[in-house]
Amino acid sequence: MRPDLDAAPGIIALVLVSVATLAIGTYGLRFSRTTSDFMVASRTVRPRMNASAISGEYLSAASFLGVAGLLLTFGADMLWYPVGWTAGYLVLLTLVAAPLRRSGAYTLPDFAEARLDSQTVRRACSLLVVGIGWLYLLPQFQGAGITLASAVGGPTWLGSLVVASVVLVNVISGGMRSITLVQAFQYWLKLTALLVPAAVLLVVWSGDGRPGAGPDAVHAGASRSLSWSSPLAESGSMGLYLTYSLIIATFLGTMGLPHVVVRFYTNPDGRAARRTTLVVLVLIGVFYMVPPVYGALGRVYAAELAASGRSDALVLELPRLMLPGLGGDLLTGLVVGGAFAAFLSTSSGLAIAVAGVLSQDVTGRAYAGRRLGGVAAFRVGAVLAVVVPAVVSLSESEVGVATTVGLAFAVSASTFCPLLLLGIWWRGLTAAGAVAGLAAGGLGSGLAAVLTLFPGWADGWVEILLRRPAAWSVPLSFLVMVAVSRATRRSAPLHVRRFMVRLHTPEVVDLDRG
């Protein structure tokens, strides 16, 4: 290894991406003046721009690095992750996008409060937004540390620190308006950084005479009983359960992720929200067709990565393995830049979402008669949103990146998905029902995941049920929400019919929307 020379393209790419991000953020700062600018970009973002931003924000390191690595190690059943992350947007489009925008709320807690007229539900939602947000930020910072350590060298904590600082500066200075530009830029950067090397490597592969996987490419996961081309996790009913539970978590979890939801308020109206979602579907669909190329090529050229358990580095190391010399260095610089952009954009979006909620419900409150202004409260919220998970990521690095991301999806699917779907489409939802359902789904999925983090005490079906809780925790949450709402029918909010008018009718019709 030549660590000093190897690091050069990575360091250059890293500096370029950081500078570009901060420069675009500063450019956006000139337009950010009011609280509304900071939080929802004053609702003037057009669908195509907004869709690029949503996609840029959504495609995290798990998509950029993780999927290819998982495919290399485990094979086709891991294709359900990108498919589920995309299909989640179809569910969002059909059931949530337009009504959510029309609700006119800033954040998920705002929506819950407006719909159910209850401070208790609002607090429960705020708690969940902050919880899911931190949970999702943690692996971003950790992953950044690991990636930079492998690409550039240096201690792991340095990468976490760099990403956390850039995110913090960006969010504090510009808020949502500048972030929208930055995120849109980062989608195209990520797509280029993944697509161009993939195309070049495919040409190299063709030039090599299209070799197939060598005999040493037999998957490293020794416990796997199925072949690399099967879309199932394991054989038999357990495999079926695991696969369907993953499908449920990803299909239904997307709509409740705080950084996804907050973007819908930046659309001018409900129709624009729908069109934005459709463009997102196209953009992330195009992106997700690329990681399988790395997975398949990795099987031919980098099988030892899977064997040594470093499959997450596949995207970063494959260019040099296949293409020695300057070409490999250039491509490496590109993928490192893309990976860094992935960490930055997802963390920024999450930080904005968490900061928005914190500034409304914590830092924007009056303490001892003093009260921070809107923008100041948002900035203090942003510091809290970033520093807490950053510190946790420095102190403890035992929790796997994929585990935490999966947990965030399962918790989101078991809490916000029932709340949104029932709140939007069912007049009978009551505040008591919502709180009970949020508690049942959140505790169920959260507890299951926490227990999974300490493996070894359960096996067989118990372990399987805890590893992927969504298949039972999502129906549980729905059931509890409906049952308790029925029992407390009398307490249904009075304005619910008016609220349904607001959620579902096009804005051009002149109606009283409450």
Partner 1 sequence: MNEPPARVRVTGPPRRRTPLARTREVDAETPLGALYLGSLLREQLWLAARTLATLVLGLGVLPVLFVLAPGLTDVQVLGLPLAWLLLGVLAYPFLVLLGWRYLRRAERNEDAFVELMEAGRGPGPAPRRGGRR
- Is 75 or 333 the residue whose CB approaches partner 1 more closely? 75
Q: Rounded to whole angstroms, what are the CA distances from 400 to 50, 289, 351, 403, 457?
A: 31, 25, 21, 5, 18
Task: Mark the segment that binds partner 1 (CB under 8 A) among 128-136, 309-317, 374-382, 506-514.
Answer: 506-514
Q: What is the C-alpha separation between 142 and 154, in angstroms, rounded?
A: 14
Query: In whole angstroms, how close is the CB of 512 to partner 1 at the nearest point?
Result: 4
Show contacts with partner 1 in window 409-428 (CB under 8 A).
425
Q: What is the C-alpha separation between 202 and 261, in angstroms, rounded?
A: 37
Tell me the CB-side half-sphere exposure of residue 457, using CA atoms within 13 A.
7
How far is Cα of residue 474 from the mean position of the Cα atoms in its chain?
A: 19
3-state secondary structure of 185: helix
Phi-psi region at 42: left, alpha or beta (left = phi > 0; alpha = psi -120 to 50):
left
Cα-Cα end-to-end distance for the chain: 67
- Is 90 or 204 the residue whose CB approaches partner 1 more closely? 90
Residue 4 binds partner 1 (CB under 8 A): no
- Is 16 or 83 the residue whose CB approaches partner 1 more closely? 83
Query: In whole angstroms, how close is the CB of 63 to partner 1 at the nearest point?
Result: 13
- Is 234 or 329 the residue whose CB approaches partner 1 more closely? 234
Query: In whole angstroms, how close is the CB of 486 to partner 1 at the nearest point?
Result: 20
Query: In whole angstroms, how close is the CB of 230 to partner 1 at the nearest point?
Result: 5
Show contacts with partner 1 in window 205-244 (CB under 8 A).
226-232, 239-240, 243-244
CA angle, corner 401, sides to 398 and 402, nearest 5? 125
Residue 497 binds partner 1 (CB under 8 A): yes
Residue 314 binds partner 1 (CB under 8 A): no
Element (H, E) at 366: strand 366-367
Supply φ then ψ for residue 486, to 5 degrees.
-60, -45
Number of residues that bind partner 1 (CB under 8 A): 54
- Is 486 or 497 the residue whose CB approaches partner 1 more closely? 497
Query: In whole angstroms, how close is the CB of 183 to partner 1 at the nearest point?
Result: 21
Residue 203 binds partner 1 (CB under 8 A): no
Show contacts with partner 1 in window 81-100 (CB under 8 A).
83, 86-87, 89-91, 93-95, 98
Query: In whole angstroms, how close is the CB of 107 to partner 1 at the nearest point?
Result: 21
Query: In whole angstroms, how close is the CB of 348 to partner 1 at the nearest point?
Result: 26
Q: What is the C-alpha separation between 131 and 128, in angstroms, rounded?
A: 5
Query: In whole angstroms, how close is the CB of 327 to partner 1 at the nearest point?
Result: 26
Q: What is the DSSP letter of 65?
A: I
Contact pattern from residue 266 through residue 305 relative to partner 1, giving x for each residue in contact according to CB under 8 A and a dash for the rest: --xx-x--xx-xx--xx--xx-xx--x---x---------
Supply φ then ψ for residue 205, to 5 degrees.
-60, -45
Residue 498 binds partner 1 (CB under 8 A): yes
Residue 501 binds partner 1 (CB under 8 A): yes
Query: In this structure, which amino acid lies at residue 338?
Result: G
- Is 295 or 446 the residue whose CB approaches partner 1 more closely? 295
Cross-strand bridge partners of residue 132: none
Residue 119 binds partner 1 (CB under 8 A): no
Query: Site for partner 1 (CB under 8 A): which residue of 79, 297, 322, 420?
Result: 79
- Is 279 or 354 the residue whose CB approaches partner 1 more closely? 279
**Assigned token pair, 114:** 């407006």
**Assigned token pair, 230:** 């099967």
Q: Can you tell me which residue has the tokens 């459709």?
A: 278
Supply φ then ψ for residue 118, to 5 degrees.
-145, 130
Query: In whole angstroms, how close is the CB of 511 to partner 1 at the nearest point?
Result: 5
Task: State the maximum Cα–Cα separation within the chain, in Å, rounded to a whole number.
Answer: 75
Query: Site for partner 1 (CB under 8 A): which residue of 11, 238, 247, 376?
Result: 247
Cross-strand bridge partners of residue 367: 370
Contact 307, 214 (CB under 8 A): no
How far is Cα of residue 369 from the mean position of the Cα atoms in its chain?
A: 38
Residues that bind partner 1 (CB under 8 A): 76, 79-80, 83, 86-87, 89-91, 93-95, 98, 226-232, 239-240, 243-244, 247, 268-269, 271, 274-275, 277-278, 281-282, 285-286, 288-289, 292, 296, 425, 497-498, 500-501, 504-512
